[in-house]
Amino acid sequence: MGVELMTDATPQPEVLFERRGAAGVITLNRPQVLNAFTIAAVRAIRPKLAEWAADPAVTRVVIQAAGGKAFAAGGDIRTAVELLKAGCFDEAMAFWREEYLLNAEIKRYPKPYIALVEGICMGGGVGLSVHGAYRVAGDRYLFAMPEAAIGFFPDVGGTYFLPRLPGRSGIYLGLTAARLGPGEGMGLGLATHRVPTARFAELVDALGGNEDVDATLRAFSIAPEADKLAPRMAVIGRAFGGESVEVILENLDREAKGAGDDAAFAKAQAENLRAKSPTSLKITLEQMKRGASMDFAECMRTEFRIVQRIVRGHDFIEGVRAVLLDKDNAPRWNPASLADVKDEDVAAHFAPLAPATEELPL
């Protein structure tokens, strides 16, 4: 069995690979940075997945993470911003290009792909897990797509999976960056099974056997916690069905004038949205509209178009500064209001790339 390290000889390998019986096991191994993953990690995982797909002795793949605090808090955004500031646009784009190709490979993987998600699972971590056939929520499962808070957009396949969640919940998640626990993850179908974290190691051993994956996961599963979002689904449907971000805010403000838990929820969401990048909010809502009728490949090509435009704008660099670097949480968005974000500027983010050879090759 043994552990195969990445080819890059580092004291702390970013990814570990192990054969455990019939299972190929991937372990994200940067717990000191909440398992934020780099292009090196992407380049390690992709060929290993291809190798295991072709190996008849490997009948399933398991991905997990070291440390317990996070499955993966996202991609290495800091490095991407440093590259962009240095004018190294192509180098920065290489990360997103290869990450999106990895997301697509997970989506179409020919063998059961099981993600054991404990702790924070945000952004890029979602891309490593949600497209697999099985997503197992641990005790501290915490899902979010927080991109609008840093002037970005919910990528890694968010264009595909968010519009397909129940009701308007995907639009709500993409716009607000709401955080979900295991009960809510199970309720929305983002997680497929709930297993106590203390049994994860035992579960990995069991998945190394030849028993059916479904049967193994059922044997370890427990009833999920109460879904705290379920009572709010009606107000989410009423408010987030608006055709524009402005209308969604009007809906929330109207709901907030009522009484009870729905009103308090609506007020909090309106305040939340007003703190986000206006450009990101409008791009995100447009994503949700378009993605609902696109296949997965077209969704990923669309995201690769958006990312090349959004990183050249003001808000992404400013959002990363405010939230991740200086941490003053006081971004100065430009444009600063929804009214100043022009429809044609939003549409430009979705335009095909020229030349066509620059499109994501899916």
Choose, from 124, 151, 174, 319, the residue flagged as catalytic: 124
Exactly one of 21, 74, 75, 151 is catalytic; name it: 75
Q: Is residue 75 among the annotated active site residues?
A: yes
Tell me, yes or no, if 155 is annotated catalytic: yes
Question: Is 212 labeled as catalytic in the residue annotation?
Answer: no
CB–CB of 97/129 below 8 Å? Answer: no
Q: Pick the catalytic residue: 76, 147, 262, 303?
A: 147
Tell me which of 14, 155, 255, 286 is the catalytic residue. Answer: 155
147 catalytic residue (yes or no) = yes
State the catalytic residues: 75, 124, 147, 155
